[in-house]
């Protein structure tokens, strides 16, 4: 029973468990690698083991004659492919198109066989001889060669006279801060299944952007986009690694066309370390000038990160300094160093998640230098307007976040002297940091349909990557139509459905949700025009009008940014415990309060923030993709050597949302939260470590040897 004239269900803002939870935990959810196909072949890549040079000789004889082998694709027999523009391509270099090697882990052959085991065996038999060339994979040995890179945002900005303000400032903090290379390590490896029929291609792909995959593959293979269908019903995490289109997706489609049979390629965990990007390390220089009372006079932030020889990727590690704190003079600079590695890519909380490490540790240093409480320092420099652009914020409840989180954490009971708080031989440290994340919005469309049995169907080509979209979108439609959420289902992840943007940039709720809101509102109006009244079964309404269903299309586009600076905010407080004899920091609790617009589903929102907090713990204490500079390769392409937080590393995580509706961000009043939770946690932990030990650490992850002194 649907009653479009009855009071709304008020499904928005109500906690609700995930509607797709049972499918996932029972194994019924179908991921890309689960896709069945008749005569399915399997592909496995053989990879280069040098970082730079060319293939002098490639021996595939043994591989070609191995049991079950159908074809060995190399640069000598792979069809020539068109270059793919970036975005949606993650990197411009397509392997198997020439004998050049640009990074270790670059595919040099694709072995295709009747079974996965046979393909893996054949790939292991491929032998290459190389003409090696000098290489460098360590950008920190080449900082003097840094150049301006072209990417998402303006590289440099300047407001006010930074030199004068710094020279006249009574207090000055000038330090360097470092973060490490990190990898996404999604639970689901990237997977692609390609099938051709009558000149048209269907790709079942583990992606965050079905439309981008369609665009890139069509461009590479020189076919009309309308002849490419991409599906992604579920993706087992991506965190940015599946946001762009990478060579394995294009090569799988091209090889399947040559074979004239379906082909599946699933990357191994080791291959994932070089196949679809990584988060770059950063070298951040902060120069901050302030009055004796802590009032900022100037902030200069400079960032350098590595990128590939063939692409620019800028990790904007000075970005946050442009908008967070009020200062009359602010200067930011971004530079890159080209090295012999694959192209980096966004990773959960790109730019701001890395940028806040340097800025927030530097602010903590300023607080100690000025003799001011860390929280009080931030309040004294609270920005009412964007200090770089002068625009007002679309919404900002950061003051409330400071208050809510500090009260819940018990910050007023902190003894600020380093090493003063302890339990026996365990030193206790309390630290805090601000969180800030840019707001990304994209055009989207959707369709909402009432069916003859009274159920509601949402159709949108968006992707499900674990953020809760299969629950949130039904809540929006249910709220408008006044129906129970259980009566609403969604079809998604398919380029035959209404077009949306990618599921990245914490943009889906705002963008797709606003399109669903529009479609549901239009449908409600059409139902009223058909004479639907309170308590009337809509099946009867449709029958009376001679209809078996009724649909309405909706769309939303953010348009220009306009007169507002748009961000989400948060305040993070962390407690660490450090043993005197074995000084390994252990995080014992984290409290975060967030200003993130209207919260559609508090349950999934809290889950997203808590997941981000876990990422912040990993960034602070565990995660680092170390490279061997003599071999030009990652030391540990696995989860044994690359450490991510386990249950024992994750303490009590408490999440608080400040009440907020941002009418400028979206018609829903919502903003993005998927990445915000990963911002600010790492510097809060680093500041807590200083409070516990008196050792100021300016490099992440924090290692035991840094604290032994």
Which residues have a catalytic role annotated? 675
Q: Give 287's contacts (C-beta < 8 A, 6+ positions apart).
A: 166, 172, 173, 174, 298, 299, 300, 301
Q: Are the beta carbons of 395 and 660 closer than 8 angstroms?
A: yes
Residue 347 three-state SS: coil
Q: Which of 512, 533, 383 has the alpha carbon at shortest distance from 460?
A: 512
Sheet of 652-657: strand order equals 422-423, 426-438, 567-579, 586-595, 652-657
Which residues sit opposite 303 in a β-bridge? 284, 334
Which residues sit opposite 488 in a β-bridge? 456
Rounded Cα distance, 94 and 697, in Å: 40
464: how many CB neighbours lie within 10 A of its CB?
Answer: 23
> DSSP string covering 17-59, please?
--TTHHHHHHT-S--GGG---TT-EEEEEEE-SSSSEEEEEEE
Which tokens belong to 312? Answer: 């620019």
Q: Which of 322, 396, 375 has the alpha carbon at shortest distance from 160?
A: 322
> DSSP string covering 634-693, please?
ES--STTTS----GGG--EEEEEE-----TTT-TT-B---TTGGGSSHHHHHHHHHHHHH
Which residues sit opposite 205 in a β-bridge? 192
Number of H helices, E strands in the chain: 16, 26
Residue tagged 């499904």 (tokens): 11
> DSSP string covering 267-332, please?
--HHHHHHHS--BPPEEEEEEEEE-TT--EEEEEEEEEEEEESS------TTSGGGTSB--SEEEE
Q: Which of 45, 589, 683 has the alpha carbon at shortest distance from 317?
A: 683
Sheet of 157-159: strand order equals 157-159, 329-339, 296-308, 282-290, 171-179
Q: Which of 191, 212, 194, 204 has the alpha carbon at shortest distance from 257?
A: 194
Kind of pairing between the strands at 633-634 and 171-179: unpaired
Which tokens belong to 228? Answer: 């490419």
Three state DSSP letters for 434-468:
EEEEECCCCCEEEEEEEECCCCEEEECCCCCCCCC
Phi/psi region, residue 280 (left: phi>0; alpha: psi -120 to 50; beta: rest), is beta
Residue tagged 């971004």 (tokens): 334
């Amino acid at each position: 029973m649907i009653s479009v004239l009855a009071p709304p269900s008020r499904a928005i803002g109500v906690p609700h468990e995930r509607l797709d939870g049972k499918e996932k935990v029972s194994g019924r959810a179908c991921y890309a690698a689960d896709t069945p196909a008749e005569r399915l072949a399997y592909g496995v890549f053989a990879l280069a083991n040098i970082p730079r040079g060319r293939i002098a000789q490639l021996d595939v004889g043994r591989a070609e004659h191995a049991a079950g082998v159908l074809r060995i694709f190399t640069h000598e027999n792979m069809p020539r492919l068109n270059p793919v523009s970036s975005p949606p391509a993650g990197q411009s270099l397509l392997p198997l198109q020439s004998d050049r090697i640009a990074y270790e882990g670059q595919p040099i052959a694709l072995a295709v066989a009747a079974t996965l085991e046979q393909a893996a065996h054949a790939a292991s038999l491929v032998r290459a001889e190389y003409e090696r060339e000098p290489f460098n994979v360590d950008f920190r040995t080449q900082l003097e060669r840094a150049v301006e890179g072209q990417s998402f945002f303006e590289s440099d900005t300047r407001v006010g006279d930074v030199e004068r303000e710094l020279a006249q400032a009574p207090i000055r903090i000038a330090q360097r801060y470092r973060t490490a290379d990190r990898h996404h390590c999604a639970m689901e490896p990237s997977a692609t299944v390609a099938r051709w029929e009558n000149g048209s291609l269907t790709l079942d792909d583990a992606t965050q952007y079905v439309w981008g995959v369609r665009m890139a593959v069509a461009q590479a293979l020189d076919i009309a986009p309308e002849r490419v269908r991409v599906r992604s019903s579920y993706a087992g995490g991506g965190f940015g690694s599946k946001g762009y289109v990478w060579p394995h997706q294009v090569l799988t489609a091209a090889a399947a066309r040559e074979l004239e049979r379906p082909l599946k390629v699933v990357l191994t965990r080791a291959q994932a370390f070089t196949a679809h990007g990584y988060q770059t390390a950063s070298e951040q220089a902060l120069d901050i000038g302030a009055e004796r009372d802590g009032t900022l006079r100037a902030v200069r932030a400079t960032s350098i990160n590595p990128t590939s020889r063939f692409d620019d990727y800028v990790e904007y590690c000075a970005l946050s300094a442009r908008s967070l704190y009020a200062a009359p003079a602010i200067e930011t600079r971004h530079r890159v160093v080209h090295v012999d590695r694959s192209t980096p890519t966004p990773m959960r909380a790109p730019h701001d998640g890395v940028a806040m490490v340097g800025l927030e540790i530097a602010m903590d240093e300023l607080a100690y230098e000025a003799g001011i409480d860390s929280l009080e320092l931030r309040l004294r420099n609270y920005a009412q307007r964007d200090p770089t652009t002068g625009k007002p914020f679309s919404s900002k409840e950061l003051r409330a976040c400071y208050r809510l989180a500090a009260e819940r954490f018990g910050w007023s009971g902190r003894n600020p002297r380093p090493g003063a708080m302890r339990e026996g031989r365990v030193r206790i440290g309390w630290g805090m940091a601000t969180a800030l994340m840019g707001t990304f919005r994209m055009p989207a469309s959707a369709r909402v349909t009432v069916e003859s049995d009274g159920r509601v169907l949402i159709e949108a080509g968006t992707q499900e990557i674990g953020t809760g979209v299969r629950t949130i979108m039904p809540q929006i439609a249910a709220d408008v139509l006044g129906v129970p959420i259980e009566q609403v289902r969604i079809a998604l992840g398919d380029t035959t459905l209404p077009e949306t943007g990618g599921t990245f940039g914490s943009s889906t709720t705002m963008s797709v949700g606003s399109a669903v809101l529009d479609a549901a509102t239009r449908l409600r109006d059409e139902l009223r025009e058909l004479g639907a009244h309170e308590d009337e079964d809509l099946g009867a309404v449709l029958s009376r009008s001679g209809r078996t269903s009724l649909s309405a299309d909706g769309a939303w586009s953010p348009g220009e940014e306009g007169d507002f600076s748009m961000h989400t905010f948060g305040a993070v407080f962390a407690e660490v415990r450090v043993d005197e004899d074995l000084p390994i920091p252990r995080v014992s609790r984290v409290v975060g309060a967030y200003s993130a617009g209207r919260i559609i589903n508090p349950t999934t929102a809290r889950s997203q923030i808590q997941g981000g907090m876990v990422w912040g713990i990993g960034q602070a204490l565990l995660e680092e993709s170390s490279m061997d500079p003599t071999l030009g390769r990652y030391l540990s392409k696995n989860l044994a050597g690359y450490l991510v937080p386990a249950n024992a590393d994750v303490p009590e995580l408490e999440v608080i949302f400040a009440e907020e509706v941002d009418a400028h961000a979206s018609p829903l009043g919502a903003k993005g939260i998927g990445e915000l939770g990963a911002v600010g946690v790492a510097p809060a932990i680093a500041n807590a470590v200083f409070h516990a030990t008196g050792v100021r650490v300016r490099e992440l992850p924090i290692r035991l040897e840094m604290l032994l002194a």
